[in-house]
Chain A
Amino acid sequence: MKRPAIVKAVLIVVFFFFLIEGGLRLYRHRQFDIPVVAGPGVTRVGRLSDFGPGLKGTKADTLVYFLEGPEPGGKAVLLSSTHANEPEGLLATLLMIENAVVERGTLIIIPQFNHSGSRNTRPGDGYPLYFRISTEWGLKKFRMGNRDASPLDQWPDPDVYIHYPDRQLLSYIDVRNVNRTWPGRPGGPLMEKVTFAAMEIMRREKVDIAIDIHGAETMFPVTNCIVAPEKSNRIATMAALTVKAREGFDSHVEPSPSGFRGLSHREIGDYSDTLPFLLEAPIPFLDQPTGPKTEKLLLDGKDPFLLSLAQKKKLFVSYDESGWPLEKRVGQHCSLTLEILNQYSKKNPDRSIRAREIPRYAEIVQNGVGHYFHDPSLAQKDKVFLN
């Protein structure tokens, strides 16, 4: 090598360029807050650490919105961003926080359940760092998160994750996946503390229903469905049949496997009196054989490779040139959530939960998701929460 000092100097400059250029983007993404305008139904806002003190001061702590009706009734917990790379759940719950008015009972909403995961990303898979939703007052910007918590908050991963308390052996990465760490424990890894705190909400608040809102690949069999254990099955079936008959979209019921531990739809029901449900809407962005993982694919769900696979009947959902747009996914989640509450309320009139101003599937498909978000710059300051 000729002139090693010059070669080294050039390489050091290149090194710092990539370090600063890449590092700054990742740093800003982790620090970026999404403003949420608390709607007329929000009566108080707490933190998950109120129920699990081990979370205090960590990036896993997250906001908990209470929407309490004037009439006493049942209670429902809604979780989204369990997997923060499935944004239809987040948008559905934020839309409820900004608009819903509860008339009877209580909704407890945790929109960024895996808060650490929502500040993580997957640059190796070419994920966009942000996505934007068109509203009547401009573009609303959201962080794109990751399936698992950030290793900055929980590290190292074990060789094998031994689930607590069943001791089932799970993949090492599942130690940072809050849909594998239920029911959690107060002294476990950070993600077990998150699920423990959520279980404490179920137990202390005597929650009737828990709905965990997700998205799943079109090539994954458990997609476009409600996953429910035995005790929630009847309500899930009635909800699926009702939305099919009244609103014209499919969502079948999948049984929660009793031998696969750590999942919300299994452990919440087994470790509390709460009836758990998990909603899945198809999200083409997560499928492996797609084109680039762009913001556009995330929003419209249109991909030529998936279209070709659909023609060969390799997908578990119907798929055509219209893709699987965000409006449909968010609309399905809102309608299914309302229908589960409705079916539960019919069976348990003394513990019924009634909410209005939550749009249903057809309205969201027609108006777009952005129509329901409010401009934080025009809202009262004490109504805006940074999440």
Chain B
Amino acid sequence: MPFIMILYYLITAFLAFLLAWNFFREKKKAEDLALYLLVLIPLVLRLLRIK
């Protein structure tokens, strides 16, 4: 795997972590909770090397 690709996987993992962190910290808006998880799906699929 080229070095730049590894960097992009690290960026993806970081963004996925931020979304998960915000999901668990959110206490007020149910819409935001759903949006965090919606955005998280493609990032997790990429990290799992599925899509």
Contact = CB atoms under 8 A, between A and B. Distances in A.
Nearest to A5: B27
Contacts of B48: 23
Contact of A11 (B4, B34, B49): B34
Given A1-B29, A155-B8, A11 B37 contact: yes
A19 B39 CA distance: 12
Interface in A1-48: 1, 4, 7-8, 11-12, 14-15, 18-19, 22-23, 26-27, 30
B49 A15 contact: no
Contact of B40 (A15, A22, A23, A155): A15
A349 interface: no
A156 B50 contact: no
Given A11-B34, A19-B45, A30-B50, 17 more contacts: A1-B28, A1-B30, A7-B33, A8-B23, A8-B33, A11-B30, A12-B37, A15-B37, A15-B41, A18-B41, A22-B41, A22-B45, A23-B45, A26-B45, A27-B50, A152-B49, A156-B5
B51 A23 contact: yes
A18 B45 CA distance: 11
Q: In the complex, which of the residues B8, B29, B50 has the most CB atoms of chain A within 10 Å of its own CB atom? A: B50
A156 B41 contact: no
Contacts of B5: 155-156
A156 B51 contact: no
Contacts of A1: 27-30
9 contacts: A1-B28, A4-B27, A11-B37, A15-B40, A15-B41, A18-B41, A19-B41, A123-B51, A152-B51
B30 A7 contact: yes
Interface of B: 4-5, 8, 23-24, 26-30, 33-34, 37, 40-41, 44-46, 48-51
Given A7-B33, A19-B44, A156-B5, A26 B27 contact: no
Interface in A130-151: 151
A311 B19 CA distance: 51
Interface of A: 1, 4, 7-8, 11-12, 14-15, 18-19, 22-23, 26-27, 30, 123, 151-152, 155-156
A232 B24 CA distance: 64
Contacts of B45: 19, 22-23, 26
Contacts of A23: 45, 48, 50-51
A244 to B, nearest CB: 44
B44 to A, nearest CB: 6
Contacts of B24: 8
A156 B4 contact: yes
Contacts of B4: 156
A41 B4 CA distance: 44
B50 to A, nearest CB: 5
A23 B40 CA distance: 13
A14 B45 CA distance: 15
A167 to B, nearest CB: 20
A156 B46 CA distance: 12
A19 B41 CA distance: 6
Contacts of B28: 1
